Amino acid sequence: MFFTQFPINMTRRESRAMLASPYRMHAAIAGSFPFSQTSGDGRVLWRVDRMPDGGSRLYIVSPGKPSLVGLDEQIGWPDCEPQWGTRGYDPFLGRISNGQTYSFRLVANPSLNRSTRGGKSDLLNSEGEPKRNRIGHLTILEQTAWLVGAQAYKGADKEVPSIFAPERGSRAQRNGFEVLSDDEGCPSLIVSNSNRISFTKGVQGDKVTFTRAQYDGVLRVTDADALRHALVCGIGHAKGFGCGLLTLVPLDR
């Protein structure tokens, strides 16, 4: 596996256009690999982070090493020395063990299937069975619960919905970590940049709409293998459109 950081030149018109369309960014990143980069050991994941200085940085996790010359010509500084960097990800993955703590960032698509909420779909699949419509969580509380489950409702003075019931286990637990809590038992987690993304695939393609949110907090590793899988395969849906990439910064030095 490889981890790439690519600074985006925000003064270029193409950069702004690509950032406005996850479909165009997905296509540009896919074109940076000579063959399919999806396997049982991982897949191509990407995310764009806004930086404190107003710039933007693209992060890519991939099974193979990308060639970003073409992407640099579109949204980088092609007349300068390469500004991006790619390094092997496996050494970092191999150092992860139970009990370690990390600060983390995850940009995800907090959603659920309509049938999970109890509603029925009017659409049918190819076998004539009801399709499961994906519904995005819109409130910060629900988006928090999407990751940490019932813990999100600690101190909220609201009943925990059945879809976040403790016996179901939280998404964080299923992916090998727990989000640390404050002294009152509330998750030490910031959910920000929550918005609804909408774009069209190609010139006359289908319209795609989904909810996106950014999660920042501190986690403790509870299942190192499950966390490694989450780091290379992503969390949640809309992975092709900039969601699902979890990144860690060690706190145990």
One domain for residues 78 and 119: no
CA angle 32, 67, 92 (to 5 degrees): 100
Cα–Cα distance, 97 to 222 (Å, whole number): 8
Instruction: Return the CATH number at 82.
Output: 3.30.70.1200
In this prediction, residue 110 carries a pLDDT of 93
Secondary structure (3-state) at 57? strand
pLDDT of residue 101: 96
Instruction: State the total domains in the chain.
Output: 2
Beta-carbon neighbour count of residue 19 at 10 Å?
18
Choose one of 94, 109, 138: the last residue of a domain: 94
Q: Are 102 and 224 in contact (CB under 8 A)?
A: no
Same domain, 151 and 234: yes
Query: Helix, strand, or coil here: 244?
Result: coil
What is the reported pLDDT for 130? 47
pLDDT of residue 138: 75
Q: Residues 129, 81: one domain?
A: no
Look up the pTM and report it: 0.86
Say whether both 37 and 137 belong to one domain.
Answer: no
237 and 174 in a common domain? yes
- Pair (117, 193) in one structural domain: yes
pLDDT at 233: 95
Query: Burial, 122: exposed, middle or buried (Cβ in 10 Å; 0-12, 13-18, 19+)?
Result: exposed
Question: End of a domain among 71, 94, 117?
Answer: 94
Q: What is the pLDDT along the chain (253 residues), one digit of tens a residue?
A: 999 999 999 999 999 999 988 999 999 999 998 766 555 577 899 999 998 888 899 999 999 999 999 999 999 998 888 889 999 999 999 999 999 999 999 999 998 875 544 444 444 444 444 455 777 787 889 899 999 988 888 777 788 777 777 666 789 999 999 999 887 777 889 999 998 888 887 667 778 888 999 999 999 999 999 999 999 999 999 999 999 999 999 986 5
Same domain, 53 and 173: no
Domain co-membership, 64 together with 88: yes
Q: What is the CATH number of the domain that holds 126?
A: 3.30.70.1210
Mark whether 135 and 189 lie in a shared domain.
yes
Range of the domain at 163: 101-250
What are the two backbone dihedrals, phi and then psi, of residue 105, each rounded to the nearest 5 degrees? -135, 135
Domain end position, chosen among 64, 94, 124: 94
* Helix H or strand E encompassing 207: strand 207-221
Residue 81: the pLDDT is 87
Mark whether 31 and 84 lie in a shared domain.
yes
Alpha carbon distance, N-terminus to C-terminus of the chain = 23
- Tell whether 68 and 127 lie within a shared domain: no
CA distances from 106 to 103, 155, 169, 192, 194 (A): 10, 24, 19, 11, 12
- Indicate if 123 and 179 belong to the same structural domain: yes
